[in-house]
Amino acid sequence: MLLDSSGESGLTFRTLSERLATGAGAIYWHVENKSDLLTAACDAIVARTMASCVAGATPQATIRALALGMFDAIDAHPWVGSALTRVAGQLPMVRIVECLGQQVRALDVPDEDQWAAVSALLHYILGVAGQNAANTQFARTRGVDRSDFLDAMATVWSQLDPNEYPFARSLAGQLRVHDDRVDFLAGIDLILSGIESSHGR
């Protein structure tokens, strides 16, 4: 995909028309401007992700599937994370909110508390997935190997003053071997546990 290889700056009507072997006028027939084009591309990724991953047996399983699907989609298409921040009231974001909202309702969260629960899940998913994608892009563009980077960071943390930084120092070993996707899902589980416990489930 053009956006994956060139990013948002590489997405122009001229470049897209050349890639599709058509005229720019044919594209303008469907979308008015670059913003609409980006929104449509973002919505295609979000819709495809939701269709392929939202099939959990329980509301919790569905939320986990959606969260991990979006995490992987944003990792594969880093521009989606930033695009979603600019289309807050448009269809790509509404799709995600609707799915999360239906699952939160299925957890019997009272109406007055549903938005807070959905908002916490939404911001965690997009924030962590977006940061993970940004880290991956940063490493790629600079030729940084993830294992080498984490090993170097862990070495620095392990040498911190044990009196000033006892917690960070204690994490050095875990830092070397942690799995971003596992950590991400652990955060989702913490939010779900909070939602359930605050409503007596």
Give strand ranges (E) for 34-177: none
Is the distance from CB of 42 to CB of 116 less than 8 angstroms? no
Q: Which of 122, 116, 132 has the alpha carbon at shortest distance from 199? A: 116
Is the distance from CB of 129 to CB of 76 less than 8 angstroms? no
More confident site: 172 or 3: 172
Mean pLDDT of 185-198: 93
pLDDT digits (tens, 9 = 90+) for 56-102: 689 999 999 999 999 999 999 888 888 888 777 788 899 999 999 99
Task: Sketch out the chain's domains with CATH numbers.
Answer: 1-30 (no CATH), 31-198 (1.10.357.10)
109 burial via Cβ count (<10 Å: 0-12, 13-18, 19+): buried
Q: In the prediction, which pLDDT does 6 show?
A: 54
pLDDT digits (tens, 9 = 90+) for 6-40: 555 555 555 655 554 455 555 554 556 667 777 88
Give strand ranges (E) for 28-160: none
Quickly state the pLDDT bin for 143 (edges 50, 70, 90).
confident
Q: In the prediction, which pLDDT does 167 show?
A: 96
